[in-house]
Amino acid sequence: MKIVVASGKGGVGKSMLASALALLFSKERKIVACDCDVDAPNLGLWLGITEYDIIEKISTSEKAFINRKKCVNCEKCAKVCPYGAIEIKNGKIEINHLLCEGCGVCQLVCPKGAIEIKPVKNGEIRINTTKYNFPLISGKLYPGESGSGKIVEELKRRAEEFDNEITIFDSAAGIGCPVIASVRGSDFAVLVTEPIPSAFFDLKRILEVVNYFKIPYGIVINKFDMNQRISKKIERFAGEKLLGKISYDKKIVDCIVNLKPVITSDSKVVVEIEKIFEKMKEKIGEKN
């Protein structure tokens, strides 16, 4: 069973809920938690992890490199580069690898075959076992690099190598490549929102992605008591898809500051999350 926790908007409490669901499931089943927000991974913080036992650098993209022995500085490559990654410095061709996308146009036009397209280490896979006795797999894309969706696919592949019954995927926010990679192939989606217009709008956007892949889903409204009017509007929109609501509580901030899962605190939201967990299990049971 693959469960993805997603949200159109960032900062709505997605990782907080994902960590809580992972802990609750771990009491009943063998699970793996997977942080698919490779641009800003923070699921580990909610589970008390700041260092990882295994860190493996990986390559999911390519970049252009110049063979100085062959290059005659004709500047043809600089004229055709669509990303402005090639420039002339002191009469020599230079490639800015922060801008290079490895498209290969420069290699095609080079009359001397002086440009090669090579794989680069642009990210890493990190694995650790939490003190709650389940593994956490996390990915990290290096600054200025591309290929976040490919790293997510690699994370999902690694998660399948573990002997587990349930995988919890903590998706990135938005509807971009890493989100599509996280959602695709999942069995159930938990969509988190909050009662503000932008979050409601973005909820509808992520729903388009989820519905495209025909994935069953449920909706959770976090901090619902901050704006009762919009919260009720989202409730009407969700209908029977509503899994539950979570209150605003400053103790949740204390949890992340102290690297403590919210489900282990004395916050009033613990009971609310447990109810969401039970209702989600009912939904999953209906699917099975």
Last residue of a domain, one of 95, 120, 145: 120
Q: What is the pLDDT of residue 143?
A: 85
Say how many domains are in the chain: 2
Q: Are residues 109 and 140 in the same domain?
A: no
CA distances from 154 to 58, 157, 179 (A): 9, 5, 14
Same domain, 147 and 17: yes
Same domain, 30 and 160: yes
- In sequence order, what DSSP letters do the residues of 217-248 get, joined into one string? EEEEEETGGG-HHHHHHHHHHHGGGEEEEE--
Domain boundary among 120, 145, 164: 120
CA dist 216 and 239 (Å) reads 14
Cβ-Cβ contacts under 8 Å for 31 (sequence gap 6 or more):
22, 25, 134, 164, 165, 166, 167, 168
Q: Is there a single domain that holds both residue 217 and residue 183?
A: yes
CATH code where residue 171 lies: 3.40.50.300
CA distance 122 to 105: 21
Note whether 9 and 127 are same-domain residues.
Answer: yes
pLDDT at 91: 86
- Digit-by-digit pLDDT tens for the chain (288 residues) are 999 999 999 999 999 999 999 999 999 999 999 999 999 999 999 999 988 888 999 998 999 999 999 999 999 999 999 999 999 998 899 999 989 999 999 999 999 999 999 999 999 999 999 999 999 999 999 988 888 899 999 999 999 999 899 999 999 999 999 999 999 999 999 999 999 999 999 999 999 999 999 999 999 999 999 999 999 999 999 999 999 999 999 999 999 999 999 999 999 999 999 999 999 999 888 544
Kindly give the residue spans of alpha helices, DSSP state H, lying in 170-196: 177-183
Predicted TM-score of the model (pTM): 0.89
Same domain as 133, residue 31: yes
| Shared-domain flag, residues 130 and 240 | yes
pLDDT at 287: 46
Same domain, 265 and 227: yes
User: Do 274 and 165 fall within a single domain?
Assistant: yes
Query: Of 99, 120, 141, which closes a domain?
Result: 120
Domain that holds residue 206: 2-58+123-287
161 in the same domain as 40: yes
Indicate if 127 and 192 belong to the same structural domain. yes
Q: Are 231 and 224 in contact (CB under 8 A)?
A: yes
**Is the domain of 78 the same as that of 186?**
no
